[in-house]
Amino acid sequence: MGVTRRMAILVLCGVLPLWIGSFFGGALLLFIFYNCLLTALWIYDWLTSAKPGDFHVRRIHENRLEIGQSSMIGLMITCDAAGKVFCWVRDTVPSDIGNHDEILPIICNASIPVQKNYTVLPQKRGNYIFEDVYLRYQGQLGLYRGQVRIPCREEIPVYPDLQPLKKYRLLARKENLLQQDARTHRVIGTGTDFVGLREYNMDDEVRHINWSATARYSKLITNQYDVEKSQNIIIAIDTGRMMLQRASGMTRLDHAVQSALVLAQVALDRGDRVGLVLFHHEVNFFVKPAAGKEQMEKILKAVYAVQPCYFESDLSSLVSYLGVYQRKRSLVCIFLQVDGIEKAKEIAALLQPLKDRHALLLITLLNSGLQQLIDAPVENLEGAYRKAAAVYGKTSQAHVSGMLNRMGISSILTIPRDLAPEVVNRYIILRKQMKL
């Protein structure tokens, strides 16, 4: 139980009867009468006000929030007490999801639900606990103030930013994936799945001419083929300490997860089976390759809460695991960080057994800060050293990518902004070149 500001002011005003009584007499009696009356009013306000058990709170939100996206959280409050009740409510929000200390004023009226909204901006993926809701209310006279803690503990998942995924879903429906990338690659090669017959064109291969159909129709008829479907795509994501580093406001693991989700969606839309492997010094999660909408949900639930750890990653554990549990030839897309020629040589040697059985695609994020240092004007000797170091670092990363490609391991080295388009385009190229 407590008092409001109005009650405190009225109590302080109790000195007035003493001051008035000093002129006319009976000051003490007047002071006692004033305070007894004020106490009686406070007790009446307490007895007629709402009780803690009259309040009910329900949190309203989407099933999942997204990192970097503002989301609305609603508090639905119902009071069983009669008449209007003035309240102030404050939710307990995890610090990583947004500092929300705002006290929301609200007026409850006779069991009619009232909703108050506030926004959060999640900064990290994972499961976040929203604790109890605190509610403060006052009586009809505005003299009594009560406070209640309403149990409302709830776990809300924060997923990766799904906007790129939604964009590529739309593009996939329009069959416009490659046109959206400014650096669209020229696709060569054909598939081997027979689709049907059509009239021969000058650009068609002579070996595809169907001579039986040609004799039947008295004109050149060719077989039409499409790229094979139901191929296996394994997405392997390194969750070791190298993925802790931040780039463009997010960790490298965040960028890898977002691009992996886009790749998985595009592959599933094209009829392929997609699997997932999470590893650091050992493989700690594996989703078997499968097709269909349900597989995308499995992958999404597997990666939304994964966080980078402080272990040094060990590619040999991934190679051994896939050697046992994934024998069918697949496209293995590995998201990891490769820094330096010596590290690249070590990785190439470790991946050799995997390369003999599968098609490999190694995906590494380029440090976008290097280009900023290169483009910055040189004003002093320290700036010159920084620029030279940035040029060396970028050149070394380019040499790493070239060396891996020469060793038969397809690789992507790009900045975070271009990661998803590069990965999707390379997947489509490898698929149409029948690398699988």
DSSP symbols for 218-273: TS-EEEEEE---S-EEEEEEE-SGGGGSEETTEEHHHHHHHHHHHHHHHHHHTT-E
3-state secondary structure of 365: strand
Burial status of residue 97 (CB atoms within 10 A of its CB: 0-12, 13-18, 19 or more): buried
Query: What is the per-residue pLDDT for 288?
Result: 92
Higher pLDDT, 260 or 190: 260
Query: What is the per-residue pLDDT for 218?
Result: 86
Q: Which of 243, 249, 254 is nearest to 310 (CA)?
A: 243
Distance of alpha carbon 31 from alpha carbon 40, whole angstroms: 14
Share of the chain above pLDDT 70, in %: 88
| Residue 106, both tokens | 């609200």
Query: What is the per-residue pLDDT for 396?
Result: 74
Query: What is the per-residue pLDDT for 435?
Result: 59
Query: What is the per-residue pLDDT for 174?
Result: 54
Query: What is the per-residue pLDDT for 190?
Result: 52
pLDDT mean over 346-367: 87
Q: Which of 46, 14, 48 is nearest to 31 (CA)?
A: 14
3-state secondary structure of 57: strand
User: What CATH class has 163-187+228-432?
Assistant: alpha beta
Q: What is the DSSP letter of 209?
A: B
pLDDT at 335 over 50: yes
Query: What is the per-residue pLDDT for 182?
Result: 40
Q: Which CATH superfamily is domain 52-159 in?
A: Immunoglobulins (2.60.40.10)
Task: Kindly tell me the sign of the dihedral angle through the C-alpha atoms of 38, 40, 43, 49.
Answer: negative
pLDDT band at 186 (very low <50, low <70, confident <90, very high): very low
Which segment of 16-20, 122-126, 334-338 scores lowest on mean pLDDT? Answer: 16-20
* Residues 57 and 77 sit within 8 Å (Cβ to Cβ): yes
Distance of alpha carbon 93 from alpha carbon 136, whole angstroms: 17
Query: What is the per-residue pLDDT for 63?
Result: 86
Higher pLDDT, 221 or 185: 221
* Residues 283 and 321 sit within 8 Å (Cβ to Cβ): yes
Query: What is the per-residue pLDDT for 34?
Result: 84
Query: What is the per-residue pLDDT for 292?
Result: 86
Share of the chain above pLDDT 90, in %: 23
Question: Which ranges constitute the DSSP H helices of 314-380?
Answer: 315-325, 341-357, 368-375
Contacts of 295 (CB under 8 A, 6+ apart): 264, 268, 273, 274, 287
pTM for this predicted structure = 0.72
Q: For 293-312, what is each residue's pLDDT tens digit? A: 899 999 999 998 898 888 88
Average pLDDT, the chain: 83
Distance of alpha carbon 422 from alpha carbon 411, whole angstroms: 10
| Residue 129, both tokens | 């606990």
Q: For 90-114, what is each residue's pLDDT tens digit? A: 998 887 776 666 788 999 888 889 9
Query: What is the per-residue pLDDT for 187?
Result: 40
Give the domain ranges of the chain. Answer: 2-48, 52-159, 163-187+228-432, 193-226
Phi and psi (nearest 5°) for 330?
-145, 165
pLDDT band at 125 (very low <50, low <70, confident <90, very high): confident
Query: What is the per-residue pLDDT for 179?
Result: 45
pLDDT mean over 7-14: 84
pLDDT at 412 over 60: yes
pLDDT mean over 405-420: 84
Q: For 254-308, what is each residue's pLDDT tens digit? A: 889 999 999 999 899 888 999 999 999 899 899 999 998 899 999 999 998 898 8
Query: What is the per-residue pLDDT for 425?
Result: 87
